[in-house]
A and B are shown apart, each in its own frame.
Chain A
């Protein structure tokens, strides 16, 4: 599984929304960052429900995932750009708008609602601004929780919360709510962060819920096309893959609308050239519906989970992975995403119980789906996750063994269990490429075990698997 490249509709502000979505999907993007604005799904329109249904159906049909962006310039106040904000007077106007965005996001099955703090007015002291941020975000979270909508706070240069560390501190002060994550604009990292974008990505890690892609020059908050600034695009995308980010990563070029189709085409070419892995495929419309259904009533997951393969297919994600041991299959990925939606609705205990039930009552494919989904939701259910990983490692079904040794096991499984898992891969012919964190977790004891295994093979007159030889430093 990997993340979904997309494009922000604020870079198509001279297009009708439908046309923009068609162009974005037509270029091969599989996601969109949708900025609610007076001309793009106006959240104050009288016929809003009908418009939202229309856009939801359109996104499903095009297979586009989305995030809802709330950075429109003159939506709330026609005279003052971005006003009011979470830290200005009349904060309640901004909170009301964000709550509207939350309800729209729920209907669109969006990954999150992204927002920023706003510029601190000169006459508001910093501690007062911080308190306003706390109260404002808490109010929006209260509205988001029953709908399972995730929020992503974006540090924005020149605004009150402009650094990643501030966003992380606010989250902590609010008690680290599971629905409160971070939106990261990688260009901003170049412009104002002390570290490069790849480092920021690693720091945000599992808290990333939305990523904006653009280039920038140090110290200058101007969104540039790729290659025009100092961003190391390849390293940034590789870092996203390395932290197992699977959400929306959309191009953010809000001042390029005058040439949007050409700019977007150049962006997709630059991105495809820099991607460390094949980009994610468009989301199946059935999956979008299933995620909505789970958000409305989490109990239906028990009925939907077995049906995934019948509805979205069972093809392999990569042609060079003929059994799906390394990259899994289409149904694996869809089940993981269904679990992602489920996790927004349940507390940690309920999520753990549901994961165990789905695994215990699942057939081989469902068990695989739970195992692969742990990369996404396992951190919130680590005891349950370890229980199913250990169960899978006791089986001799290679697809279960391979799925068990993903990023969750790399982070959570004890050394002994993990080493035996790796050895089992060598025994059963699972390529070690399926083992997440292999380099990081390989230790002397594993090498001893593999060396003994190789000696046993040699003594029996059998060949030593190439993966074993490579691990021992004897291969190519």
Chain B
């Protein structure tokens, strides 16, 4: 099973996770920029974070044979803090970087006017930088937030097939399915979705335009949920090709619209090998 996790916050994860993900079949991922649990108080802490997403985290993932990409944005929660909003002015610089495959996560947290403004402005950035957009739907008042999201996308002029609306569930999937946007599902140990509900939705809606991610971060979460969803699909009678559609071909197609995906094998790794050979980074790193 080859896996492209389209949404996972590796900054918060350990090397054990990277190792387990590689062993489970993860060969590529996208790490969306989001909030860190601890609120930021300046633009500087955003740029340090973005720099890590386009440098250090990419290097860390590469040590385990995983291609790391990211999305860059001001997240909706911190869009409400005037100390953070000036980061919008430095985004264009990052949106030109290799491996930056979308503008995201953007969207709503509490649906304030400030969030509205940051969301609309960043949809424009997606248009200007020829990138797709990854949209986070709110935890509270989710259905209304999702409807408002789809309205803003329509107003922005960004083609709807270049938008993924994430963290969907049974109550929000229909509107997104009908809109033509990509449907993202975060599979969590005890919130959002679980793999069995996911399989039920796949039976109802099919595999087209569906993205399944672990959204693993600093909270209770599991970076192997993509793999477990794949197993649950097979158990439920989906074919290996269906699984490959959901866990590989779909995210590749969605983020591939950026023209900036890198999916060739990393130096020292081949599709079949799980270990790093030669004068390895892992050896040096492991001994520190």
Contact = CB atoms under 8 A, between A and B. Distances in A.
Contacts of A323: 267-268, 281
Contact of B96 (A307, A324, A367, A428): A307
Contact of B267 (A307, A322, A365): A322
Interface string B244-288: 000000000000000110100001100000000011110111011
Most buried by B among A314, A322, A324: A322
A306 B280 contact: no
Interface of B: 51, 54-56, 58-59, 93, 96-99, 259-260, 262, 267-268, 278-281, 283-285, 287-288
A4 to B, nearest CB: 26
Contacts of B93: 302, 361
Interface string A351-379: 00000000001011111000000000000
Interface in A58-94: none
Nearest to A395: B56
A306 B100 CA distance: 11
A310 B98 contact: yes
Contacts of B281: 323, 398, 428-429
A310 B260 contact: yes
B98 A428 contact: no
Contact of B56 (A361, A397, A431, A462): A397
A397 B55 contact: yes
Interface string A303-325: 10011011000101000001110
B169 to A, nearest CB: 35
B55 A364 contact: yes
Given A363-B55, A363-B58, A397-B56, A428 B285 contact: yes
Interface residues of A, number: 28
B280 A429 contact: yes
A429 B260 contact: no
A429 B279 contact: yes
B267 A427 contact: no
Interface string A27-38: 000000000000
A14 interface: no
A256 interface: no
A396 interface: yes
Contacts of B96: 303, 306-307
Contacts of A307: 96
Given A364-B59, A427-B288, 13 more contacts: A303-B96, A306-B96, A316-B267, A323-B281, A324-B267, A363-B58, A363-B97, A363-B98, A395-B56, A396-B285, A428-B288, A431-B279, A462-B287
A364 B284 contact: no
A399 B284 CA distance: 13
A307 B268 CA distance: 25
Contact of A322 (B58, B268, B284): B268
